[in-house]
Every structure is written in structure tokens, then in C-alpha cells.
Structure 1
């Protein structure tokens, strides 16, 4: 279990994260394929992103963003570091490989063991010579009910790197499908389920699958909150309430997955704050208490990141003067 989080500014004590965490976001990425030129968050959007995060820190105490842009997704860890510093919000960067359409050519010729060594190198020495070390592996992806052969290799590589370094793994399950197969593959490679978050489960209207994943010990990511074109928040709320009612409040993670510039508030989108301004009020109106909300927005993501499989970090108040500072420089 890790008592320090590896952020883009260096190690940060878990106890310093006293406000909510966004469990799956993007601050800098490029997912353009074919005619889709809008799936970007570029340096030109950095000021708007910074202002959104700073406003959420001031209004809601936002303390940490888990940034799941990995290799092949236009990752920019230096840009993340500038946003984190300017917004005074801690950011955890990621490594890994996304799902198959975004795989670089060389993956077709590389074993899972060799891929794992690449990830371990980034985790130990930093991304691309930057010295900025990732603190999570993800969003490692697949599409369909079963991973393709290249996706299975990258998932296995993620599990091997995670067991070697102590990091946890967040997945991309396209439209919520394939989570059980992802978990089976990751755990078969030696990764405990409590160090796995299965992504995009709010896009899968199947409470039985959510219960099965949660009963195994994995985290269930309701991480596309506000993306009404994929799923209505009304359905997301129903699915989350069903998971809570089944006794799995300690397995749920929440976020908005801002993955294109059109989602930014400055461009008329829902923004990173939709979770706090719209969805959590609806959760409270449905009778969910503040202790549970603190769990799904703070304690659960911290337990996921640290690999803690027991009591969550003790609750704390909102930071009075911005987020706590990292424990040291990037390593």
C-alpha cells in the first residue's frame, strides 16, 4: 500500500487530499481520427481548463484530478504540470495504452512482458525524459465483450507493471462493455481486484454486472457523468443508487471524462464541474448522505490509487488555503 500519491509535482501524502477527487479526466489529449477533429484538449485550451479547475477548488474544494491520458492519446505531462501549478489542484498522470484503434504500430510486434518493461521505465524514471512520473496505469482499453489480442497484451502488460510498481490500473471499457473480461485478464496476471477500476460502467445499463464486479473487489467507475449523448444522467443516477443499495458504496468512483474541447464551460459544455453542480445535488435529493458522498468522491479514489484494501483514509475538512503541496520534487 502506498501512503504517497505520485503527482505531476512530486509525491503527495494521502492525508493532504482533504477535498473531492475527479477520478477520470483529461487535461491534455489528442484523439483525432478521420474526420473527428474536435477530440482535442490542446495548449490553446490550457487557460480555460486552468480556470475551470481553479473555480472548482474555490467553490467545492477540488483537491485532485486523476488524469487518464496515456500513451497514444496525445499525453502532455508538462502541460498537465503547468495546469496543476496554476490551478493549485494536484494532478496524477497516467501511463499505459488505450484501446486498439489508438495503438501504435510497434505494439503488434511486442510481447506483454516487454511492454510492461516500457511502463515500468516510465513509472520509475518519468515520461519522455520529463522526469514527471505517472501515479496510475490507465486508461488501458478494450472494446467489445472480449479484448482483441493486442488489447489483451496491453492489459496484461498493465497488470505486470502494476504488480512490479505498486500502482493501480484504470480501464477503458468501450460503452461499458467487456469489464468482466478485463478484470479476469488483469487478475489472472496477478493484480488484486481492489487495484482495478473498470471504466465507463455508467454507460452499461446492467446492475447485475456492476454488482458482480463490485463483489469481486474492483471499483466501478461512473465516469462519464454529464455526457447525455451517450447516456442520460437520469439512468446514471438510477444505476448508482442501485449499486449503493446493494451495499457497494465503497466501490463506486465518479467523474465526467472531459475528452474534447466542446465539453469545456468556455465553449458552452458541461465542464469538469458538472459532477458537483448537477449530479451530486440529485444524489443528495435521492437521500444519499454526506458521508457516502465523501466516500464516492474522495475516500474511494484515494483507496484505489494507494492500493489500500481496508478502511478508507479518515475524512477531513475542505482545504482553507488551497490544496496541500507535494512532499517533494518530481523523481
Structure 2
């Protein structure tokens, strides 16, 4: 059992990430240990015991940072292996075969992540660009499928602005991946209920994982979509998270902070008719099923 089944799980987060070079913005270097530790302590107090940390190679992953957080806070953190999206790949990736990339991923799951005592538990976050799916991104998906078959570990994806989820599923289906081992990320950034229902019909999990990012898409609309899924009895494949990636997202820096999901968003769900049982399904049962 990789998940602490007694607690809630945030299904898609970053505790140490550095995209500042690519984005030209120091705010995109999330590395302030004392502030993040304090927020993890607060989550544990609220019953959030698991974080799926989807920062992978070349995104600024720091396993030593994670080791310290685990030791200092007691929170359970699952690390990831893979590559992100076009524009955030190391140059050497373009000349590697899918098999070679898969061997790297498998090594991080089976042997461990270099320089640490930790192993990766999730294949992710692997993604597609906005409204397109490049050849190199597809090669990473092929490598992820190979790694899934080798290790049995689940695949967590990134959709840029809630686009290309269908194409991701179609590609993974072509590789023969069991959809019950797949979760599609960032499904909550536009009005796309029909797409979400299609994804659910394929058997995969979907993530409402940018909660609190109201500049992209308001939480009121996220709640309306979750309510629509609730009315259809479809929340048994939905998971929740915040995808915190910037220093400015932390509470002490003026952001909403990691606790916003449990302190503010979940009460709003309850006020809008989503039951505590359904919340437990999204925050505990579904992650336990996928990431076990």
C-alpha cells in the first residue's frame, strides 16, 4: 500500500518545482522550504495525509527536499517519473527512443531516484501542448505505456488548458493501457462537461486539479461542473487538487495556500449539495484505488 488510506489525498501537486528559466520568472521557482513545511503541517492537521507530487525530470524535481518534508512533517508523498511537455524537455530527449526513455522511468520506479532513498510511484505528469499533441510528446506517452506494463504503476497526464484529453486516451488505448490505471489532469479549465463525460466513459479517472486558479477558470464553474457530475452519479472517477506551482501561490506570500481546498472549496461543495460521502469518494477512495 503506497497511499495512507486513512487520510485525504491531493492528486496533483508540486512541492518543489523550477520552471523559472523557461518562463523567465523567479516566481516559478517553488523552493521555500519553511513555508511549504508549514503548509504540509497544516494539511496533516486537517486529515490530508497524501500528496501526489507530479514534478518529474527536468521540471526541477528535488528528491532531497521531499525526503526532508516527509521526515519533518510525516506527510506521505508519492514522487513521479517522466517528462512534461514540449518546451520543457532536455535536448537529448529528442534523439532517444521510446524504449530508452522507458528504461529511465522504470529505473526510477524499481531502483530509485538518483541521489535519494526514494523511488518514483507514479508515471507523470506527462502531457500534450495546448490544442496539439507533438511527436515527442507522443513518444513520451509510448514510453509511459511501456513503463506501466513493466511496473504496473499508474499514469498521470497533463492537459494544457483542458485540451487533448481525448487524444491522450486514444493514444494510450492504442498502446493497450488499462484505463483504470490512468488519470487525466487539468480537466477543470474550461466548460467541457461533454469531454469529461466521454473521458469517464472510457474508464479513466479525471482530475479537477487547478482548484483556486480563478484567473484561468472560476471555482464557481468548477463547482457547477462537479454538481452536474454528481447529479449523473459520476464522481466515483473524479479526484481533486490545486496544482500549486508558484511562490505566490503560498499563503505566506499572499496566495490561497494548500489548505484552501479543504478549508474553503470543500465547504462550498457541501453548500451546493455535494455530500460528504461524495467528497470522501473524491478525496480518499478514488486516490486510494488508483495510487495503491
Q: CA deviation at 1:37?
A: 2.2
Do 1:193 and 1:217's aligned partners in 2 also have CA atoms closer than 8 Å?
A: yes
CA distance in 2, matches of 1:180, 1:30: 29
CA distance in 2, matches of 1:35, 1:114: 31
1:50 is aligned to 37
After TM superposition, what 4+ stretches of structure 1 lie above 3 angstroms from structure 2? none
| SS, match of residue 157 in structure 2 | strand
Q: CA deviation at 1:129?
A: 3.7
The aligned runs of 1:165-176 (5 Å cut-off) are 165-176=151-162
1:125 is aligned to 111
Do 2:227 and 2:273's aligned partners in 1 also have CA atoms closer than 8 Å?
A: no
CA distance in 1, matches of 2:213, 2:136: 28
Q: CA deviation at 1:87?
A: 1.4
CA distance in 2, matches of 1:229, 1:204: 12
2:6 is aligned to 18
The aligned runs of 1:269-308 (5 Å cut-off) are 269-306=255-292
CA distance in 1, matches of 2:58, 2:174: 25
Q: CA deviation at 1:172?
A: 0.7
The reply to whether residue 261 of structure 1 matches residue 247 of structure 2 is yes
The aligned runs of 1:1-331 (5 Å cut-off) are 4-5=1-2, 14=3, 16-32=4-20, 33-42=22-31, 45-58=32-45, 60-306=46-292
CA distance in 2, matches of 1:261, 1:153: 32
Q: CA deviation at 1:266?
A: 0.9
CA distance in 2, matches of 1:177, 1:233: 19
TM-score, normalised relative to structure 1: 0.86
Q: Which has the bigger relative contact order, CA under 8 A and spacing at least 6?
A: 1
| SS, match of residue 51 in structure 1 | helix
Q: How many residues align?
A: 291
CA distance in 2, matches of 1:171, 1:79: 23
Deviations 1:43-94 (CA, angstroms, capped at 9, x unpaired): xx11111111111211x21111110000110000111111122111110010
Do 1:21 and 1:66's aligned partners in 2 also have CA atoms closer than 8 Å?
A: yes
Do 1:176 and 1:203's aligned partners in 2 also have CA atoms closer than 8 Å?
A: yes
Do 1:56 and 1:273's aligned partners in 2 also have CA atoms closer than 8 Å?
A: yes
| SS, match of residue 258 in structure 1 | coil
Do 1:139 and 1:172's aligned partners in 2 also have CA atoms closer than 8 Å?
A: yes
Q: CA deviation at 1:34?
A: 4.4
CA distance in 2, matches of 1:37, 1:48: 16
Do 1:160 and 1:190's aligned partners in 2 also have CA atoms closer than 8 Å?
A: no
